[in-house]
Amino acid sequence: MRRYTLNVVFCLAAVALVALAQAGALDKYVLTIITFIGINCIFAVSLNLVNGYMGEFSCGHAGFMCVGAYVGSLLSVAFFTNSNLFGAALFPPQWAPFLFPVVLLGASLAAALFGLIVALPSFHTRDDYLAIITIAANYIIISIVENIDAIGGPRGFSGMKKTVNAMSDVADLPWMLIWTIFGFFVCVMTIYRLMTSTYGKGISAVCQNEVAAEIMGVNTNRVKIMAFMISSGLAGLAGALYAHVYGYVNAQAFNILKSTEGLVMVYLGGMGSISGVLMAAVAFTLLVEWLRFVIPWLNEVSHAAGLLPAGYEISQIWKWVIIPLILILLMQFRPEGFLGNRELTQVFPRLKRWITFK
């Protein structure tokens, strides 16, 4: 029984979170942060499949999140709400909680389809050339979205709050938290199970020695397509969740900076380590939020101590100086990320007694 500790802990934590949110014990801000951590985890773990396990350097992951966010939003608006764009709702709003997985699935499939843009050139290109293709893909996706006026173009798109409200009308639950936990579970399980199966190890084989993989019967092109599509599909899932949590999407939220955040989480955690990347995603999201409070405090303290000229205030912009600085220092101390390419259970073998995944 002890081996199931982690699974039980995860379930209990999920239930506890939902219960706390339901009881109103978590304020709205904390709830949003928790949801956002979940979304970042999905984003980072999915990028890890390509950048960690397959060893490619994809730097346009946010582009797929963008596709997922928009397709998810459009589906949800078309399904459950009366809108100018699609007219009357396709389904009664009461169905929203039950059909929402379809929205998520649609978003993932659309993003996975866009993953092909990157997968196909990867057959005869690797490394930095592929990096370019992914950056270009990111720009292209954003540019396409901004040029479609019907979905708001550069102004963004909204209306998803109505879907969330429709779900709350059916049952008053913290729905987006529930769906995020669901998405997190799906994402981690998919990648974990894939990478522990012989089928999925073909991805590592391509990374470690492509020639050997090919000769031992791995259809490298198919493996690459699969990895890119799953990775971008899960990013699409993260995007759809993001869009519904915020109730508003804008293509510029998924620009190259967002992709950079993903890269940071993957390389900070360790290439090809799910537990490492999860740790990095949580740490990174918390760091960003924590600095939001630290900076005003820092400002006050340094003014009180007379360290700063009177006219100068430490603004929130410093956040984006401090974060990269911390990351650079972290990388100097751990040049392979938190866990390298190992999992937590490999670093601390005694943990295995508590953990089992099937």
Partner 1 sequence: MPLLEIKGLTQRFGGLQALSNFSFHLEERELVGLIGPNGAGKTTVFNIVSGFYQSTEGDIVFDGKRIGGFRPHQVTAMGMARTFQNIRLWNDMTVLDNIRLARYSWLGYGFWSAVLRTGHYRHSEKLIETKAREVLEMMDLADYAGELPKNLPYGLQRRVELARALAGNPKLLLLDEPAAGLNSADVEDLIRHIRWIHDEFKIAIWMIEHQMKVVMSLCQRLTVIDFGCIIAEGTPEDIRNNIVVIKAYLGDEAL
Partner 2 sequence: MDVFLQQCVNALQWGSFYALIALGYTLVYGVLRLINFAHGDIFMVGAYIAFFVSTMFLSPEGMFGLSRETTLALTIPLTMILTSLVGVSLERIAYRPLMRKGAHRLYVVITALMCGLILENGNLALLGASRKTLPVLLEKNIHDFGGIAVTNLKLWVILAAVLVFFFLHFIVTQTRMGMAMRAVSWDRFALPLMGIPLDSVVVFTFILGSGVAGLGGMLFAMSYPVLEPYMGAMTGWKAFIAAVVGGIGDIRGAFAGGFLLAFVEIMVAAFLPSTFRDLFAFSILLLILWLRPTGIFGKPLTTKI
The contact set with partner 2 (CB under 8 A) reads: 51, 57, 117, 121, 124-126, 128-129, 131-133, 135-137, 139-140, 142-144, 146-147, 154, 210-211, 256, 260, 263-264, 267, 271, 314-315, 317-318, 320-321, 323-325, 327-328, 331-332, 335-337
Interaction of residue 194 with partner 1, rule CB under 8 A = yes
What residues between 16 and 75 interact with partner 1 by CB under 8 A?
none
Cα gap 172→166, rounded to integer Å: 10
Interaction of residue 214 with partner 1, rule CB under 8 A = yes
* Residue among 11, 15, 148, 216 that touches partner 1 (CB under 8 A): 216
Q: Which does 307 bind (CB under 5 to 8 A by kind): partner 1, partner 2, none?
A: none
Q: Which does 305 bind (CB under 5 to 8 A by kind): partner 2, partner 1, none?
A: none
Interaction of residue 225 with partner 1, rule CB under 8 A = no
Task: For the CB of residue 207, give the shortest distance to partner 2 in the complex, in Å.
Answer: 12
* Residue among 158, 220, 345, 346 that touches partner 1 (CB under 8 A): 220
Task: For the CB of residue 220, give the shortest distance to partner 1 in the complex, in Å.
Answer: 8
Count of residues touching partner 1 (by CB under 8 A): 28
Sequence-separated (6 or more) residues with CB below 8 Å from residue 78: 85, 86, 89, 90
8 Å CB contact between 244 and 76: yes
Q: Which does 21 bind (CB under 5 to 8 A by kind): partner 1, partner 2, none?
A: none
Q: Which is nearer to partner 1, 22 or 346 (CB)?
A: 346
Q: Which is nearer to partner 2, 115 or 183 (CB)?
A: 115
Local structure of residue 19 (DSSP, 8 states): H
Tokens of 206: 């391509």
Interaction of residue 336 with partner 1, rule CB under 8 A = no
Cα gap 78→157, rounded to integer Å: 13
Of 35, 111, 46, residue with least CA distance to 75: 111
8 Å CB contact between 357 and 275: no
Of 223, 245, 200, residue with least CA distance to 104: 245
> If you compute the radius of gyration of the chain from its CA atoms, what whole number of angstroms results?
21
Q: Which is nearer to partner 2, 51 or 285 (CB)?
A: 51
DSSP per position, 124-154: T--HHHHHHHHHHHHHHHHHHHHH-GGGTGG
Q: How far is CA 126 from CA 54, 110, 120, 217, 312, in A?
A: 11, 24, 11, 20, 47
Tokens of 135: 């950056």
Task: For the CB of residue 128, give the shortest distance to partner 2 in the complex, in Å.
Answer: 6
User: At 248, phi and psi to the nearest 5?
Assistant: -155, 140
Local structure of residue 27 (DSSP, 8 states): -
Q: Which does 96 bind (CB under 5 to 8 A by kind): partner 2, partner 1, none?
A: none
Interaction of residue 315 with partner 1, rule CB under 8 A = no
What residues between 131 and 190 interact with partner 1 by CB under 8 A?
189-190
Cα gap 55→272, rounded to integer Å: 9
**What are residue 249's DSSP bridge partners?**
157
Among the candidate windows 60-68, 191-199, 231-239, 288-296, which touches partner 1 by CB under 8 A?
A: 191-199
Tokens of 136: 């270009």
Interaction of residue 219 with partner 1, rule CB under 8 A = yes
**Residues binding partner 1 (CB under 8 A):** 189-190, 193-194, 197-202, 204-205, 208-209, 211-220, 226, 230, 341, 358
